[in-house]
């Protein structure tokens, strides 16, 4: 139990996948609220829904939170965070505790076993619908069942749930953000608190854990607002305290749709259709999966499939989960800053701040009631500002760390000084840490494998007098003679040529070279580009361009 007076908030994700932006914002607000008031922030993994849970997924959450800089005082032990006196913090490991309280309620006549089959319940639901009345579970038969009969059925192994005997009467929910709302009597029926598989339902476990873990403030998504009524009647029946509640506005896409994994499939499907791709790009999605995915719009690619396909097609995917933002090269401090602005603002037109500021300033009174709209364009401009204004060394270090996780092929191919040259040349143009990798894939593709952009080749290699190809032919032997293949020596070889043959206009020579070695018109400065590619690849690519367009 926590010491009296200490504020305790908790983030309680169900580990059904990766950490969604909405969940991340809830965690951030819970963290800021407690930490800004000398309190504790606790993390609990709600993994009692056995079908959806997985350990790896829970660990994904932990990593995502750490990446955002959201540390928890109590919870699963992970990289210096967590532990604590109120564990275990995985609900699946707390079943004995839940059972103790379940027994207490059943013995007190406040909860009862129910043996209804799914078919029976469905029949009653359909009958209510046909009669045009709202369906309410009728527990009278179960409540009247004698104890011996209940025990006999349980001993027989008949599947049973435990339902809470909801007291009749209106329920008023008090919410620090949304105000008060009263649910009329009968709105909450006798809901299930223990499932047939022996696990408690979310409603039951959450109430027990919030009490035992000393949670004083429950901040969570607005979709849980009505659930609060169930939690309140349970708290009353168990003689528990009532935490303060605050329900946070949801986060939507700018068009008002839910930010969901489906958004990624939409982008990929559109690209595949536009490019008339009949076969999946090699190593992305299995042939059967591809067929099923194309045939049915409701089929979704899994996380890795979608990422592999996006990389092969070179299309950016809309980010939905924290890990997506990391993969796209956003800075964690920018993501936190931006998430906080979705539903809250510090006032005085202040938009840019860090987590330290947030924990000092965050207050429920400035949380809005209406849904927030997630403006990716604005996020990108925040990230661009933060990246371009950071010192060069920091950018290089962050880009290296990003490359090691998401672009190992670059790290294998480039020496540390080549990498530094690439990062240095890319810094000012980078909106995210990923831009320099995404924009320079030609560096790690085979000399014969990268594609030439037809328009760029036409303009820069085939036309002009002399044509770009003519320049390449003349430069080839000069370059072959360069002794130390580095930017300075390459400049010393190319500049005099441009002075003599292109009226001193380096671009006239640099652009054909750029198209020849990269396939397009955008790359780091040409001498750096050639230096990074190395002698062999640079010459092989020039030869390929001359052969193809000469
Ligand atoms: N496990 C619930 C969820 O992920 C938590 C809700 C709550 O905070 O009470 O939505």
Q: Is residue 348 part of a domain?
A: no
220, 248, 276 — which closes off a domain?
248
Active site residue 66: no
Q: How far from the centroid of its chain's Cα atoms is residue 543's Cα?
A: 44
Do 244 and 102 have their domain in common? yes
220 lines ligand 1 (CB under 6 A): yes
User: In this structure, are 164 and 298 located in the same domain?
Assistant: no
Q: Is the CB of 14 under 6 A from ligand 1?
A: yes
In a domain, 371, yes or no: no
41, 249 contact by CB (below 8 A) = no
Please tell me if the CB atom of residue 13 comes closer than 6 angstroms to any atom of ligand 1.
yes
Return the sign of the alpha-carbon dihedral for residues 397, 401, 407, 409: positive
Q: Which residues pair with 301 in a beta bridge?
A: none
The pLDDT assigned to 491 comes to 95
Measured in Å, residue 239 CA sits from the centre of ligand 1 at 22
Total domain count, the chain: 4
Domain range for residue 405?
390-439
Please give the pLDDT value at position 417: 87
pLDDT in tens, 421-438: 899 989 999 999 999 999
Kindly give the distance from the C-alpha atom of residue 37 to the centroid of ligand 1, in angstroms, as a whole number. Answer: 23
Ligand 1 atom nearest to CA at 202: 1
pLDDT of residue 5: 79
Neighbours of 352 (CB within 10 A): 12
Q: Are residues 155 and 277 in the same domain?
A: no
384 Cβ contact partners less than 8 Å away, ≥ 6 residues apart: 430, 431, 432
Identify whether 514 is part of a domain. yes
CATH code where residue 468 lies: 1.10.10.350
Answer yes or no: do 414 and 530 share one domain: no
Question: In this structure, are 113 and 244 located in the same domain?
Answer: yes
**Does 199 lie in the same domain as 98?**
yes
Question: E strands of 3-110, at which residues?
Answer: 8-11, 40-43, 75-78, 81-83
Q: Is the CB of 430 under 6 A from ligand 1?
A: no
Question: Ligand 1 center to residue 375 CA distance, Å?
Answer: 25
Top mutation candidate among 9, 14, 91 for ligand 1, by most atoms within 8 Å of CB? 14
Domain boundary among 248, 279, 304: 248
The minimum-distance atom of ligand 1 relative to the CA of 23 is 4
224 lines ligand 1 (CB under 6 A): yes
In this structure, are 400 and 287 located in the same domain? no
Within-domain flag for 60: no
Q: How many CA atoms lie within 13 A of 490 on its CB side?
A: 21
The segments of the chain whose pLDDT lies below 50 read 1-2
Helix (H) or strand (E) holding 455: helix 454-457
Pick the atom of ligand 1 nearest to 210's CA.
9
Q: What is the full DSSP assignment across 326-346?
A: HHTT--HHHHHHHHHHTTB--
pTM of the full predicted structure?
0.92
Q: What is the pLDDT of residue 1?
A: 44
The protein residue whose alpha carbon is closest to atom 5 in ligand 1 is: 12
CA–CA gap between residue 318 and residue 409 (Å, rounded)? 24
DSSP state of 502: S
Is residue 206 in contact with ligand 1, taking CB distance under 6 Å? yes
Choose among 530, 518, 538: nearest CA to 460: 518
37, part of any domain: no
Q: What per-residue confidence (pLDDT) applies to 53?
A: 57
Same domain, 167 and 237: yes
Tokens of 495: 């500049």
Q: Can you tell me the distance from the alpha carbon of 44 to that of 65, in angstroms, rounded to the nearest whole number?
A: 13
Active-site choice (35, 40, 230, 261):
261
Q: Among candidates 340, 434, 351, 347, which has minimal Cα distance to 387? A: 434
DSSP, collapsed to helix, strand or coil, labels residue 524 as coil
Same domain, yes or no, for 217 and 115? yes
**Rounded-to-integer distance, Cα 439 and Cα 219, Å:** 41
> Using the 8-state DSSP alphabet, how is residue 108 labeled?
T
Ligand 1 pocket test target in 31, 224, 234, 245 with most atoms within 8 Å of CB: 224
Please state the φ and ψ torsions of residue 347, each to the nearest 5 degrees: 85, 180
CA dist., res. 402 & res. 494, Å (int):
34
Instruction: Give 299 Cα–ligand 1 centroid separation in angstroms.
Output: 26
- Same domain? For 243 and 289 the reply is no
Q: Are residue 427 and residue 532 in the same domain, yes or no?
A: no
User: Which residues fall within 8 angstroms of residue 23, CB to CB, at 6 or more apart?
Assistant: 11, 13
Cα separation of 377 and 256, whole Å? 16
Using the 3D structure, point to which of 439, 468, 499 is the last residue of a domain.
439
Q: Looking at the domain assignment, is residue 448 inside a domain?
A: no
Are 267 and 243 found together in one domain? no
pLDDT of residue 2: 44
How far apart, in Å, are the Cα atoms of 88 and each of 40, 44, 83, 169, 425? 17, 9, 8, 36, 50
Residue 421 lies in a domain: yes
Q: How far is the CA of 218 from the centre of ligand 1 (A)?
A: 10
Q: How far is the CA of 208 from the centre of ligand 1 (A)?
A: 14
pLDDT in tens, 364-374: 999 999 999 99
The answer to whether the CB of 46 is under 6 A from ligand 1 is: yes
SS3 of 549, please? helix
In a domain, 167, yes or no: yes
């Amino acid at each position: 139990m926590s010491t009296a007076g200490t504020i305790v908030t908790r983030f309680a994700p169900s580990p059904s996948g990766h950490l969604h932006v909405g969940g991340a914002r809830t965690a951030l607000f819970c963290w800021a609220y407690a930490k800004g008031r000398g309190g504790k922030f606790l993390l609990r993994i709600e993994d009692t829904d056995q079908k959806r849970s997985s350990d790896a997924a829970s660990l994904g959450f932990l990593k995502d939170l750490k990446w955002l800089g959201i540390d928890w005082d109590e919870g699963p032990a992970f990289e210096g965070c967590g532990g604590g006196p109120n564990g275990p913090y995985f609900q699946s490991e707390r079943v004995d505790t839940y059972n103790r309280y379940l027994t207490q309620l059943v013995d007190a006549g406040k909860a009862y076993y129910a043996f209804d089959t799914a078919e029976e319940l469905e029949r009653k639901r359909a009958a209510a619908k046909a009669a045009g009345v709202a369906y309410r579970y009728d527990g009278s038969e179960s409540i009247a069942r004698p104890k011996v009969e209940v025990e006999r059925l349980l001993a027989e192994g008949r599947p049973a749930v435990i339902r809470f005997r909801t007291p009749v009467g209106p329920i008023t929910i008090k919410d620090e953000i949304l105000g008060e709302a009263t649910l009329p009597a009968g709105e909450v029926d006798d809901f299930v608190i223990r499932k047939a598989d022996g696990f408690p339902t979310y409603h039951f476990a959450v109430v027990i854990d919030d009490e035992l873990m000393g949670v004083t403030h429950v901040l969570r998504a607005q979709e849980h607002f009505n659930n609060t009524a169930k939690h309140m009647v349970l708290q009353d029946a168990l003689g528990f305290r009532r935490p303060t509640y605050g329900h946070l506005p949801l986060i939507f896409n700018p068009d008002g749709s839910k930010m969901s994994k489906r958004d990624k499939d939409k982008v990929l499907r559109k690209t595949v259709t536009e490019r008339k791709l009949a076969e999946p790009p090699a190593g992305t999605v299995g042939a059967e999966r591809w067929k099923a995915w194309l045939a049915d719009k409701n089929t979704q690619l899994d996380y890795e499939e979608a990422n592999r396909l996006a990389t092969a097609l070179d299309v950016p995917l809309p980010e939905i989960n924290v890990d997506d933002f990391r993969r796209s090269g956003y800075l964690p401090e920018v993501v936190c800053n931006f998430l906080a602005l979705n539903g809250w603002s510090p006032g005085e037109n202040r938009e840019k701040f860090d987590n330290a500021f947030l924990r000092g300033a965050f207050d429920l009174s400035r949380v809005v009631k209406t849904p927030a709209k997630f403006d990716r364009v604005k996020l990108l401009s925040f990230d661009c500002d933060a990246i371009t204004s950071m010192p060069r060394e920091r950018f290089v270090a962050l880009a290296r760390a990003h490359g090691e996780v998401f672009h190992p092929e670059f790290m294998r191919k480039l020496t540390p000084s080549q990498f530094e040259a690439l990062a240095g040349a890319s810094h000012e143009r980078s909106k995210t840490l990923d831009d320099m990798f995404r924009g320079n894939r030609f560096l790690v593709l085979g000399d014969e494998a990268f594609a030439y952009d037809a328009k760029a080749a036409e303009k820069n290699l085939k036309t002009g007098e002399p044509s770009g190809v003519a320049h390449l032919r003349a430069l080839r032997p000069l370059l072959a003679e360069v002794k130390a293949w580095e930017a300075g020596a390459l400049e010393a070889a190319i500049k005099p040529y441009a002075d003599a043959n292109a009226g001193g206009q380096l671009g006239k020579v640099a652009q054909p070279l750029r198209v020849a070695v990269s396939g397009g018109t955008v790359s780091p400065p040409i001498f750096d580009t050639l230096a990074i590619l190395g002698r062999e690849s640079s010459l092989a690519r020039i030869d390929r361009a001359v052969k193809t367009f000469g």
